[in-house]
């Protein structure tokens, strides 16, 4: 396209051209190709059009609008000679215009290709990240085993954490063309299925937990009763058996508490403590029973010892048997365990029986002395 510069501002580097097509085109100094000449008003130019802007602008030799002077006519040959370099310049300008436009368009194409490459790389990176998020979410969902959700509160909490994390991963994927939105929604369906299973198991666990807490409360009340019964020993077998029954009831309650439960550790600790207390009470019962047997044996020894000497007061062999019975009575009474109901009474009997034993020993000595004297008298008579 050819045209004429209408105006040009050196300060701003902006101007306008009136084209031969009657339209006006804006241009800037950056689109001016000739480095020797500067844009001026009324200068003829050759240029390309890009929308409403002139580009690749080259100045054209001014054609004089005035008639040729005689001097110019005389120098026509000279001008003719000078036309050759001008023609060469025109060809150069034409070449520069043609190829300048080509290179300009090529540069724009390269820039657009680079921009497109960057956009594609960003898209691929974003899509790869989204696919990775879906894969992570699927891994989290697959790690949740429905049959294990009701085993403990810990496994349930871990499953809830996995579900929430998986939802965050797939919720970030928008419904845009070429985005893996459908895959994300399919994964979300699986997540919601696992979430439903988690909620159902959570209800069961919470119900079991309430029952377990109630069982613990009742067991602790019964244990308090057992402690009260066992306080201020010693006690008879009957009292200890009452305490034992309470400990057994408390343990049975705890062992029958629903599982799993959030208080499983506390229940286990209580069961161990109550079983230890039951063991102590059982030992107390055995000690009390053994103490009674030992005490009764001691009384029986004492009764036989007394009866023997009462029926045969002068027979030394009877007194010796009585001595042995008193010895056995003392031995039995000394075996009575401390902390039993028979311990104090047994100690009192020990003092009494010890005195009786001492009396029997003295009696035996007296009878031995009498027998010795009788033996001497009989020997003397026989010698006489």
User: Would you give per-residue pLDDT tens digits along the chain (384 residues)?
Assistant: 899 999 988 888 889 999 998 889 999 888 888 767 788 888 899 999 988 899 988 888 644 333 444 555 455 555 555 555 666 666 666 666 666 666 667 778 778 888 888 877 887 888 888 888 999 989 998 988 888 888 788 888 889 899 899 999 988 888 888 888 888 899 989 999 988 988 898 888 899 899 999 999 999 999 999 999 999 999 999 999 999 999 999 999 999 999 888 899 999 999 999 999 999 999 999 999 999 999 999 999 999 999 998 877 888 999 999 999 999 999 999 999 999 999 999 999 999 999 999 999 999 999 888 888 876 666 665 554
Question: 11 and 53 in one domain?
Answer: yes
The reply to whether 80 falls in a domain is: no
Q: What is the DSSP letter of 143?
A: T
The reply to whether 73 falls in a domain is: no
Question: Looking at residue 69, what is its pLDDT?
Answer: 46
Question: Looking at residue 64, what is its pLDDT?
Answer: 38
Question: 354 and 333 in one domain?
Answer: yes
Find all residues with CB under 8 Å of 187, minimum gap 6, and list them: 134, 137, 138, 141, 166, 170
The reply to whether 30 falls in a domain is: yes
Task: Determine phi and psi for 257, rounding to 5 degrees.
Answer: -65, 140
Contact 181, 174 (CB under 8 A): yes
Question: Looking at residue 112, what is its pLDDT?
Answer: 82
Question: 278 and 295 in one domain?
Answer: no
Question: 165 and 101 in one domain?
Answer: no
What range defines the domain where residue 58 resides? 2-62+90-117
CA distances from 364 to 309, 315, 317 (A): 11, 9, 9
Question: 337 and 240 in one domain?
Answer: no
Question: 190 and 112 in one domain?
Answer: no
Question: 297 and 267 in one domain?
Answer: no
Question: 113 and 31 in one domain?
Answer: yes
Question: Looking at residue 286, what is its pLDDT?
Answer: 95
Question: 277 and 309 in one domain?
Answer: no
The reply to whether 70 falls in a domain is: no
DSSP 197-209: HHHHHHHHHHHHH
Question: Looking at residue 65, what is its pLDDT?
Answer: 37
| Beta-carbon count within 10 A of 55 CB | 21
Question: 223 and 160 in one domain?
Answer: no
- Among 286, 311, 307, which Cα is nearest to 356's? 307
- The angle, 0 to 180 degrees and rounded to 10, between the axes of the packed helices 343-383 and 264-311 is 30
The reply to whether 342 falls in a domain is: yes
The reply to whether 85 falls in a domain is: no
Q: Apex CA 258: angle with CA 257 and CA 263, to 5°? A: 75
Q: How many domains does the chain have?
A: 4
Last residue of a domain, one of 223, 257, 283: 283
In angstroms, the CA 384 to CA 382 distance is 5
In angstroms, the CA 224 to CA 237 distance is 20
In angstroms, the CA 187 to CA 185 distance is 5
The CATH number linked to 318 is 1.20.58
Question: Looking at residue 63, what is its pLDDT?
Answer: 42
The reply to whether 81 falls in a domain is: no
Where are the extended beta strands (E) located within 51-134? 53-59
Question: Looking at residue 383, what is its pLDDT?
Answer: 58
Contact 41, 6 (CB under 8 A): yes
The reply to whether 46 falls in a domain is: yes
The CATH number linked to 96 is 2.40.50.140
Contact 5, 11 (CB under 8 A): no
Contact 166, 137 (CB under 8 A): yes
| Beta-carbon count within 10 A of 288 CB | 24
Last residue of a domain, one of 187, 205, 223: 205
Question: Looking at residue 298, what is its pLDDT?
Answer: 96
Contact 288, 236 (CB under 8 A): yes
Question: Looking at residue 381, what is its pLDDT?
Answer: 58
Tokens describing residue 334: 């000394």
Last residue of a domain, one of 283, 303, 336: 283
């Amino acid at each position: 396209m050819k045209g004429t510069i209408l105006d040009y501002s050196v300060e701003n580097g902006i101007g306008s051209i009136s084209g031969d097509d009657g339209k006006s085109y804006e241009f800037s100094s950056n689109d001016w190709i000739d480095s020797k000449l500067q844009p001026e008003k009324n200068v003829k130019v050759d240029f390309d059009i890009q929308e409403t802007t002139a580009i690749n602008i080259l100045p054209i030799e001014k054609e004089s609008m005035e008639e040729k002077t005689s001097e110019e006519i005389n120098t026509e040959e000279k001008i003719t000679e000078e036309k050759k370099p001008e023609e060469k310049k025109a060809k150069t300008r034409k070449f520069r215009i043609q190829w300048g436009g080509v290179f300009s368009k090529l540069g724009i194409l390269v820039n657009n290709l680079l921009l497109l490459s960057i956009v594609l790389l960003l898209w691929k990176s974003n899509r790869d990240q989204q696919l990775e998020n879906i894969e992570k979410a699927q891994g989290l969902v697959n790690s949740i085993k429905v049959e294990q959700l009701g085993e403990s509160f810990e496994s349930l909490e871990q499953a809830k954490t996995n579900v929430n994390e998986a939802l965050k991963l797939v919720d970030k994927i928008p419904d845009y063309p070429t985005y893996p939105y459908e895959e994300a929604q399919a994964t979300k369906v699986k997540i919601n299925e696992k979430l439903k299973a988690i909620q159902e198991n959570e209800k069961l666990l919470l119900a079991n937990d309430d029952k377990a807490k109630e069982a613990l409360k009742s067991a602790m009340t019964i244990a308090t009763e057992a402690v009260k019964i066992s306080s201020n020993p010693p006690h008879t077998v009957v009292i200890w058996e009452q305490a034992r029954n309470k400990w057994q009831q408390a343990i049975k309650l705890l062992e029958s508490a629903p599982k799993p439960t959030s208080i499983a550790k506390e229940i286990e600790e209580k069961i161990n403590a109550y079983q230890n207390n039951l063991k102590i009470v059982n030992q107390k019962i055995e000690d009390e029973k053994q103490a009674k047997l030992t005490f009764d044996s001691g009384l029986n020894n004492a009764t036989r010892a007394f009866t023997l000497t009462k029926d045969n007061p002068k027979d030394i062999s009877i007194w010796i048997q009585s001595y042995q019975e008193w010895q056995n009575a003392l031995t039995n009474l000394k075996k009575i365990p401390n902390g039993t109901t028979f311990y104090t009474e047994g100690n009192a009997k020990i003092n009494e029986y010890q005195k009786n034993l001492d009396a029997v020993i003295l009696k035996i000595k007296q009878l031995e002395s009498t027998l010795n004297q009788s033996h001497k008298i009989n020997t003397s008579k026989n010698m006489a």
